[in-house]
Structure 1
Amino acid sequence: MQSVFSPPLHRQRHQFVIDYIKRTKPQKVLDLGCGECSLLKKLKFHREIQLLVGVDIDGAKVKKQMHGLAPLSTEYLQPSFDQLCIELYQGSVTQRDARLRGFDLVTSIELIEHLTLADVEHFSAVVFGYMTPSAVIVSTPNSEFNPLLPGLSGFRHSDHKFEWTRAEFQSWALKVCSEYGYDVEFTGVGQPPPSQQESVGFCSQIGVFHRLRGRDSGSMLFGDGADDEFSYTLLCSINYPSLRDNNILRRVLVSEVLYCAEKLKSRWMEEKTGDGEEASTMCLGEGAEFLSGQHVEEELTACGEGMKSPVEQCGRAVSDDGEGEYDDLWTKGQEGETFNRHVSVPLDELFSCFPRVSELSGSLSNLRLLLMDSPEVKLSQDGSAVLIAYQDPDREEEEIDNNIEDSGYAEASHCSYTTEQEEDWEENV
């Protein structure tokens, strides 16, 4: 078959479904006879879908392939606001299950020809009469095309129970529409030679069914107790990471806030030490203005008037362990201890200057609320600013020198070899 069509026929069928989904944007999609999950693996990237379900009678086959439906590592690192849940079931399409009712789209790709004609009647009643989806896509082989397939004798697959002509398929489809309140459009994939389009038709014929408004055939046929039926076995349920999950949203927001606050702190430190005075500009994010060096201090000033630098903080300072407090951020502890200093970065600056922060939080009050319970973030006493640990560069150099002296390395580095040591070295060589 692959030598006859390019791209291969199964890809053309899947692409037909994908194109339909791009146009109609269904949120709940069910694939009957999902088999090796090849269609589901393609549909999981179309994030307008919020619930993607596959059903197949061969549970072992599904289990072998379902790992390919797991989220990618990048979807954990950079989750979106989109929601997606994937569920896989083992069960027969001739049986009813209340969990599969009311979908936006049901697909049945090359499935019904594997059923007996008696089971096709059950299939029709279950899919169109009980599940009552808004739309159904059914594809099945067109037996009129078979003479054009090289080397084919009999059915296209050993498990096929029948293969319909176009007239037979259309007769079944129109009967379904009449009984269950749908209309149908006929099309297909797999083009014949141009001269035989009318006489042969598509290799795979497709019916696209749309449910008519105002029809509730499922309730009329099966009554109120129909919702209690659960005949399928759930094989797995996969929830993709989404920013609609508060825990995930908080994790991503905290990471973004800390990154942005460190960025502002670093820029302020450049201003404080005089590094890059001529080119001390700061991009505060896409769509925001560039701030000159003289404005950086203004943008980073914490709450209250009279603040001279963002390191000064209104209220009392928070210690490194988050438990003690100090009267002044510049207060020194016991002799030999380091200063407990912080740069205070106002939340309103983070919210207004960094589009990603505002997008994730939605509002300034929500930003504060999401950060309050995070152990990774230190907020000022009034909750208006993020406190970022600060170490004076001069103090850092002094501590490094002290550590070197304490370690004895400095003393060792001043030792010189005696003449006798040099002579021994030469002898050893």
Structure 2
Amino acid sequence: MISITVLQQQFVYNYCFLSFNLKEILLELVKSGEILLKNKRKRNMFSYNLPNGGLKTKTYKTPDGQIKFDPPVYEQRYTTAVRIIEDPRWKQPLKKIVDFGCAELRLLTLLRRIPHVEHILEVDIDAELLKVHQQKAVPLISDYLKKRENPLRIEVLQGSVTDSVEQLYDVDAVIALELIEHLHPEVLDKVPENIFGFIQPKLAIFSTPNSEYNVLFGPMLENGFRHYDHKFEWTRQEFQSWAHEICKMYTNYSVSFMGVGKPPPEVKKLGHATQIAIFARNDMLNKPLNYDIVQKPATVETKYKVIYSVDFPYNKDERPKEQKILDEAYFYVNQSKNVPKYFNRERCIYQVPWKNLMDYTQSVGGTETELLEILERNKFKIEGDFIILPEYDDEEENASDDLDYDGEYNLEAQPYKCSLNEEEEDELSANLASGCNLIAGKVNYDSEEDWD
């Protein structure tokens, strides 16, 4: 039913009595209603693009006409979700994440690498499946050798996306990739209330198949879908309508749409194989909230069943911000001397782009101005966009002065035995026969590997 404004009512009145052209009246009303709807939806949307130019992917057809993606679409979905979580545009940290419908915990292997994430909930309804794959949450040897700077707790939990449980308190980001199409209508209807009413995350990422793309896949399964367990598959318009209804009900949220799995160039109009909706809470977009966030939701008695939980080892970095940036700068410029493209042969200097330090600087809460001030305060020579380094440091040029010899080898100063007695000759022969190498009194075995 189209809602008619006062101006539209006046328009109808004038048009009816002046021209009596009912067909034109109805057309104008429809157009006007569509414009109002589009304008209203635009207010609930925001523009979003993946940082650093997005993913580099390609879609092609095999000789037998099958559509192939490089990398596979599921990898594109996982990478996109991680890139969204890592995006520096979000001014508030996303420390606690829930991955609904996690299944084999594939996404976890990427989520656990994000430095600022401190708590990950892997939730699925299938307890047996979680038990089979729970080892993906176990810390690796490398996690003990190179410990994180921040704590990380991973919990593998059995439960539903519609359950309002205590474990979901303080969740910053919700991820639900290829989940909603597996839900029955009565279950799907409860999802928005739990996500946007109970959890109230800063960010929520949903993905689902784009049914318009199915014509490129050939025959579907007997149920008409891509997977035997799918209850539906939506067109882009259907998915976007669902998302806009959520923003209409929970007005603290805005939405942006994107996709992965590009169509071949000749059928761009079909859209992507997977469609993605990114819901951002308005305070993440520097927009005012329409109502207060409930800091402590109503007490709930139900809990997810814990299949596995673990706390990762970590070392808290107590260095002040300036020291972190300075240490990183020293490491960076020293490593840059091994990069030939930074060497200017005409001037015999290294020109190292200082902007390459910005990602790290921002990760510790620094700015471009702070970085430049720290570099200049610590005697780094800056020319435009470059740190200038000499071909050789003073320490390298004077290295010979620090060596413990006089420049000329003094035979008299070095006690040297030109001959060996019979017992020493026997020992030397035995050592050589066994594969030993005697150099300056040090024994190295041929079986040892050089880890240089």
Residue 14, structure 1, aligned to residue 14, structure 2:
no
User: 2:182 matched to which residue of 1?
Assistant: 114
Q: Secondary structure at the match of 2:103?
A: coil
Label 1:225 to 1:133 Cα distance change in 2 as closer, same or farther (>3 A). Answer: closer
Does the 8 A contact of 1:99 with 1:230 survive in 2? no
Residue 206, structure 1, aligned to residue 270, structure 2:
no
1:356-378 alpha-carbon deviations (Å, 9 max, x no partner): xxxxxxxxxxxxxxxxxxxxxxx
User: 1:375 matched to which residue of 2?
Assistant: none
User: 1:384 matched to which residue of 2?
Assistant: none
User: 2:233 matched to which residue of 1?
Assistant: 163
Q: Cα distance, 1:48 vs. partner?
A: 1.8
User: 2:201 matched to which residue of 1?
Assistant: 133
Does the 8 A contact of 1:184 with 1:207 survive in 2? yes
Look up the equivalent residue of 1:182 and give its one-letter code.
Y
User: 2:134 matched to which residue of 1?
Assistant: 66
Distance 1:71 1:51 in 2: 14
Q: Cα distance, 1:87 vs. partner?
A: 1.0
Q: Cα distance, 1:102 vs. partner?
A: 2.8
User: 1:29 matched to which residue of 2?
Assistant: 97
Q: What TM-score, normalized by structure 2, do the two folds share?
A: 0.51
Does the 8 A contact of 1:36 with 1:61 survive in 2? yes
Distance 1:233 1:136 in 2: 23
Residue 99, structure 1, aligned to residue 167, structure 2:
yes
Residue 90, structure 1, aligned to residue 158, structure 2:
yes
Label 1:4 to 1:21 Cα distance change in 2 as closer, same or farther (>3 A). Answer: same
Distance 1:67 1:120 in 2: 30
Distance 2:401 2:185 in 1: 74
Q: Cα distance, 1:231 vs. partner?
A: 2.9
User: 1:342 matched to which residue of 2?
Assistant: none
Distance 2:317 2:129 in 1: 32
User: 2:310 matched to which residue of 1?
Assistant: 238
Residue 189, structure 1, aligned to residue 260, structure 2:
yes
Q: What TM-score, normalized by structure 1, do the two folds share?
A: 0.54
User: 1:252 matched to which residue of 2?
Assistant: none
Does the 8 A contact of 1:94 with 1:122 survive in 2? yes
Q: Structure 1: any 5+ residue segments left out of the alignment?
A: 247-288, 295-429
Greater relative contact order (Cα 8 A, min sep 6): structure 1 or 2?
2
Look up the equivalent residue of 2:238 and give its one-letter code.
E
Q: Secondary structure at the match of 1:226?
A: coil
User: 1:298 matched to which residue of 2?
Assistant: none
Does the 8 A contact of 2:67 with 2:217 survive in 1? no
Does the 8 A contact of 2:103 with 2:130 survive in 1? yes
User: 1:179 matched to which residue of 2?
Assistant: 249
Look up the equivalent residue of 2:75 and give its one-letter code.
R
Which protein shows a greater Rg? 1
User: 2:191 matched to which residue of 1?
Assistant: 123
Q: Cα distance, 1:245 vs. partner?
A: 11
Distance 1:225 1:182 in 2: 18
Q: Cα distance, 1:39 vs. partner?
A: 0.2
Look up the equivalent residue of 2:138 and give its one-letter code.
A
Distance 2:142 2:125 in 1: 33
Distance 1:290 1:37 in 2: 56
Q: Cα distance, 1:121 vs. partner?
A: 1.3
Q: Cα distance, 1:77 vs. partner?
A: 2.9
Label 1:46 to 1:291 Cα distance change in 2 as closer, same or farther (>3 A). Answer: farther
Residue 144, structure 1, aligned to residue 198, structure 2:
no
Look up the equivalent residue of 1:7 and give its one-letter code.
P
Does the 8 A contact of 2:159 with 2:304 survive in 1? yes
Alignment of 1:355-370 (within 5 A): none
Q: Cα distance, 1:70 vs. partner?
A: 1.2
Does the 8 A contact of 2:108 with 2:136 survive in 1? no
Q: Secondary structure at the match of 1:38?
A: coil
Label 1:39 to 1:80 Cα distance change in 2 as closer, same or farther (>3 A). Answer: closer
Q: Secondary structure at the match of 1:185?
A: strand
Does the 8 A contact of 2:150 with 2:314 survive in 1? yes
Does the 8 A contact of 1:102 with 1:134 survive in 2? no
Q: Secondary structure at the match of 1:128?
A: helix
Q: Cα distance, 1:175 vs. partner?
A: 0.6
User: 1:268 matched to which residue of 2?
Assistant: none
Label 1:179 to 1:3 Cα distance change in 2 as closer, same or farther (>3 A). Answer: same
Label 1:202 to 1:136 Cα distance change in 2 as closer, same or farther (>3 A). Answer: same
Q: Secondary structure at the match of 1:145?
A: helix
Label 1:36 to 1:215 Cα distance change in 2 as closer, same or farther (>3 A). Answer: farther
Does the 8 A contact of 2:115 with 2:149 survive in 1? no
Does the 8 A contact of 1:30 with 1:54 survive in 2? yes
Distance 2:400 2:219 in 1: 70
Label 1:218 to 1:234 Cα distance change in 2 as closer, same or farther (>3 A). Answer: farther
Look up the equivalent residue of 1:17 and give its one-letter code.
A
Q: Secondary structure at the match of 1:157?
A: coil
Q: Cα distance, 1:196 vs. partner?
A: 2.0
Look up the equivalent residue of 1:5 and give its one-letter code.
F
Q: Cα distance, 1:217 vs. partner?
A: 6.9
Look up the equivalent residue of 1:165 and give its one-letter code.
T
Q: Structure 2: any 5+ residue segments left out of the alignment?
A: 1-58, 60-65, 284-288, 319-398, 405-452
Q: Cα distance, 1:8 vs. partner?
A: 0.9
Does the 8 A contact of 1:129 with 1:218 survive in 2? no
Look up the equivalent residue of 1:26 and give its one-letter code.
L
Aligned residues with identical type, % of pairs:
38
Does the 8 A contact of 1:130 with 1:217 survive in 2? no
- Paired residues in the alignment total 248
